[in-house]
Amino acid sequence: MDLVQLQRQLVDYKTSLYNEGFLDEQFTQLQELQDENNPDFVVEVVSLFFEDSERLLNELTKALEQQSVDFKRVDAHVHQLKGSSSSIGAQRVQKVCIAFRNYCEEQNIEGCVKCLQQVRHEYSLVKTKLESMFQLQQQILSAGGSIPM
């Protein structure tokens, strides 16, 4: 009973994530890729994403704090962030990244800084969401159930 409830909770949670636009079908694909050979594939990729993103965010913060901002570098970082976020389906991060890149092209420091904050915000949001989802999954798994798709 508890398990069923947990499973339903997970499904609802996932649906809400999709509906609120945190995730898109890329994440679904990611999940599809997960199989017996790679049981923790999604978690692995997502944690990779977290690592990478944090690194990138730090780099970005550093880059934007500098006197003369190297927009090329910033752009490259944002590009990477965008690529990785789109790969896991973190839609909202990706969207902000697009705006970010536009500001970069305009060489608008204020816009960049604003975007950086937004990205950070979105990133932390999606991170918490995903972490809580993984926790749920973990609970289900530990309860001996299977994760519903």
Q: How far apart are CA 14 and CA 67, in angstroms?
A: 43
Q: Does 105 bind other proteins (CB under 8 A)?
A: no
**Taking CB under 8 A as the rule, which mask of x and - marks residues 46-85 in contact with other proteins?**
--xx-xx-----------------------x--xx-xxx-
Q: Is there a contact between 53 and 83 (Cβ–Cβ < 8 Å)?
A: no
**Taking CB under 8 A as the rule, which mask of x and - marks residues 26-45 in contact with other proteins?**
x--xx-xx-x-xx--x--xx
Q: Does 18 bind other proteins (CB under 8 A)?
A: no
# binding residues, other proteins (CB under 8 A): 26
Choice between 6 and 22, CB closer to other proteins: 22
Q: Is there a contact between 77 and 60 (Cβ–Cβ < 8 Å)?
A: yes
Q: How far apart are CA 88 and CA 78, in angstroms?
A: 15
Q: Is there a contact between 132 and 16 (Cβ–Cβ < 8 Å)?
A: no
Q: How far apart are CA 21 and CA 91, in angstroms?
A: 6
Minimum distance of other proteins from residue 94's CB (angstroms): 9
Contacts of 115 by beta carbon, 8 Å cutoff, 6+ apart: 96, 99, 100, 103
Binding-site ranges for other proteins (CB under 8 A): 25-26, 29-30, 32-33, 35, 37-38, 41, 44-45, 48-49, 51-52, 76, 79-80, 82-84, 86-89
